[in-house]
Amino acid sequence: IIHSERFSAVLVHLRNGSVKVTEGQHVKVGDLLGEVGNSGNTTGPHLHFQLMKGDDPFTAIGLPCRFKSYESYRHKAWEHVTNGIPGRLERIRYGPG
């Protein structure tokens, strides 16, 4: 879980043993935090990312998160999105841009 003064972000299903940061460490844009994996109850490697108001991913209020660039799986194809906020349970992936 990454904490800031206003919100927290949780990254779940990282590959076991791949986390590169320690509790209390300050991180910045571009820092490697860990590697996508298949930990927990999953069917394949992926990243579960949640921006939230609070520290407990099970009880915190989720917050919308705007991404500079990503691809969204819509109408059976990947579509590039710029400066967008994914919808609930929308399937997205990194899209350079």
- Token reading at 36: 């996508």
Over the stretch 11-61, which tens digit does the pLDDT of each residue have? 999 999 999 999 999 999 889 999 999 888 888 898 889 999 999 999 999
Confidence at residue 78, expressed as pLDDT on a 0 to 100 scale: 96
Residue 97 scores a pLDDT above 80: no
pTM score? 0.76
Query: At 54, which amino acid appears?
Result: G
Query: At 81, which amino acid appears?
Result: V
Over the stretch 70-95, which tens digit does the pLDDT of each residue have? 999 999 999 999 999 999 889 999 87
- Token reading at 77: 């194809």
Residue 96 scores a pLDDT above 80: no
In the sheet that holds 61-62, the strands lie side by side as: 2-3, 8-12, 48-53, 61-62
